[in-house]
Structure 1
């Protein structure tokens, strides 16, 4: 509405101006009024651009240009072109911005107006920087600096130094950029040029980030964000959120980085950017129309000259009516704008309240999830310890070959189940690539054999036949993460068994290439089962996704298997591909690289075989454990190697027994009734700092290892443990105690 009123006013003013040409004195006075109007419109447009209020800037430039094209003053045309170049620069149309600034510079050079040229050279320099014509940009900005110094144009010193800094930053010279920004800041500050100050801070933060001065960059960006929020500069706030995202990414705080990146994206998708596009289209339409108006006016100049004979009295009447109409419409417009602004403020407050509630709910949900994962990890691992421990004991009691095969399969399945629990409970960590790969020697062919034995019964239950093709040229010993390989194959083969009835499943492993001590292998798992439709092939690897609701009801499952496979392969720098046809079967393929294992001295089993078990005989060990089954298993394992074992059901009993007894080592569980294992260890260390204490725990260790050592533990054995690793750590503790004593 305000733009419409201004247009009406301009039209009336133009009629009055053209009609009073016949009277020299009246024309001179009125022409001065028009020049003043042009000057005011251009000043308002420049101010609006500096405040990022582009809609208002466009309206004022349109009005100024209509008046300037009707006046004989070429300098006003040049100034209009210069302000228009600023607008096109903010809208991102660099081509039109360059055209307009060149038109302005041409007129200003012909008129030898150094002050106007200083402004134009500064703008042209910033345009050329964006166009990556750096040498030309430096030349224009130097011209501007010389004219500023010569003519004492104070309000332009800061913006020129800002543009010199932007040029240095674009030219990969962040140190020089910071020098320019620092020199311009006091000037911009003193003149309260808030928009330029905010732009200076954001780009100074970019320069500091380029120099890896992360903390300084954050402080500078905080200052820019403060101005952006106080002044309502949406574009500045968007840039600040983008910078925060990069700063927190450098700090490895990926969660905060993601929050700021989303905030930046929200601003990019906001009405501010949509309005910029609308303004750009509107600018083209309006300004092109003005050019056409000029052409029309030039063609009809004779008609315009004839209208100069109109009487001043008639014009005064028209002007009075127009002004009354304008004032009435303006009052109505202000009333409506105030109502709209009040409704908008109320809507923003409601949305703010909703966002705060949503944030609080998300934080509570995250805390509940963390607590749940911590609890369920311990509860799942404790019974799993009993499974793996009893399996180990049964394997050492001379089972028949058939029993031994089943027990080995059970042991393998227990190890796989532990890995699966870890990955499912921490799937978000897996997707964030925070799960670490192990590097140990293993026999790939035997590992796959173990997988097929473990899945053999499932296959036979569904009357499926497993076909195993293993390339004989693949080395016997490879180096990698065997548990993760097993997990990938169990998920893929299990998936094929699940969706195939009375069919065939092929497992193929081929050598693609060998370079020095590294081999590149191709894996295929193919079946002739139900297959997957083309539509579902795009989403089958997402979390909790299966082919359809009917498939989920018929076959069951969580829908996590293929998602885990995809993420594990991504962790190993590989990806899975799928070929499938509905009703004819599916084929999953992926490639992996392994180092050929050459030195077996670090193998845990080999190290365990080389241990001097005599050092363990008659050693007195206190087992602190509240679970009766776990007590039994640990006690049997120790006593089979002639170790004297005593049990304490909780931490309080452990402290008393350590005071009264003479033990060589303590195996301490962490979660127990009464005082925890950590608290019990602290109390023991008050009177005995020498006895080795090993944490035998089912908790997830991750990054908490330092906490165990700080609280007095000598080592940690996570449950369920491998027996070889268990005795290696016991042997290490006893050997260390012998040396120190």
Structure 2
């Protein structure tokens, strides 16, 4: 069997597996079926895992009957969804659509976010089957917004990877699948890992990397055998048969081929398939004819009642005449509706084409910004790094002035790129607020300390009015709040000279753990005119051309603030008079943790480290960046080795002992993430710091999932660079000392 043939076959198998996964996640959510329905759902899941589809269908049919008898709408919706998924496994898309439509009707009259999420998930699979890949990705994202369960998110990642593979976006697919290999799912950890290895094996087969394909297929086969995943055992043997044949290992290929024949004989007998199809058709036909039987019973009751009274007969005749007239009217109306529907369908197709175009345009825009950001950050790293090194080498006074101007320009350009990428990440729904414990006053003090120098340059006082009744421990996203404060206070300082900027923080309401906090950044600077207040939050907008020329900046700060607060479901307001100053204010809901002891200090003193004698590996494919990073380490008396790609990094890590590894992510060959995963298989201790120019498509979560301890973005400030190295080497050693 040739690779491209297997690729098509594997896609069909993978789709079936994907539908099977969806059946599993139904029970990993907060939607628990009622006590009467749950046994049927559990039985259906067990039978499905044993590949006894006919019996699983019967169990779900009984579940739907019980749900209808108990008038349990949510359980009935879940039953329809499960039936739709099983019909997909039988390659009966029309029947899948039939039960999906039944679910649509019920979901219109009930608020059921979980049901909506699964409904959109099934729709995404149907779109994918019809080769509408971008629409499928869009629908998967909508499903993700409706339910944040970790198991559901993992299955979304698996579905997205399958679509990416169909689009030949192998790098994006690989990133999703590597995250799933090291997943910590409490419901189906082994199943997700097995699926991830299978998809990677299929991906490497499509890209003709047969060695990697066979390795991942072997991992998948072992997991499948250990856990009794029969369909996965079959697919692993299919992949291994082809991979070993391409590698010239014909004995292994023959063995897997024999295994495959035995598995197919046990799973896919003709008699078994006949029973499954017969059961599926019977359940579908029974459902469709049930309504007809009810109507016939009603007609029979009316016929019997005619014999009871002539009056009843007359009334019945009159009723039938009225019904006939109504039927004629309905027929005419139906003809009008049919014509209207034809027109609507035409318009819908036009709208779908337009939506597909918009999705593709957004995809192209995202890919463009991702590429541009990486390409710009790499030379910027060289500019800022070389400038720092030259300033450290005691240049002459006339040279120092030029170097400082160069450093300022590099920093300005970097901030501009960061602002544009930040807004596009929010627009592309790639940012979500975190939910972590922090001390609000500590976060605010850190922001204000970092802006004190700018305030002194403008001879402006920086004041804080903080309500001490605010709980010391809160749950929210301190990083995004810091960005909001940094932009608002930095903006206020820029437009206020010889004045004052005050941050007011007040507790508005506290009920149990729910807290509402009021924030206001107030200044007595130049102010904003009434007409400009209407557009001040739009991108690249400043008060006027003259203000832009005098004060500089991109005009993106307030746009970022507005977008970030939107993630918290908060809205920023503005009060200002020209020449009298401005006031920006908003409210945010948070959670408090009153039961924790407050042991956090407000002052953070950057720690000095003695780096002398350290030995570090630099993983970097750019020659200029290699020189700059090595020189920066040498200045601190740190020795280093250089690996020009991921394969070389793995080899050096096996042969040497390093105090830390600085890992570039975007490299030819295997990426930094893949190299980190391989190193972690034999070395769990050495700190690995991702040193990379992050783009729109990069996910910090995937870096940490691969095994990175920390992330430093290029270009970086030297003090941050050294601080991260010290924290990950020395602070880690202190934590690991025996108590």
Q: Which interval holds the TM-score relative to the shorter structure?
A: 0.3 to 0.5
TM-score (norm 1): 0.45
TM-score (norm 2): 0.45
Structure of greater Rg:
1
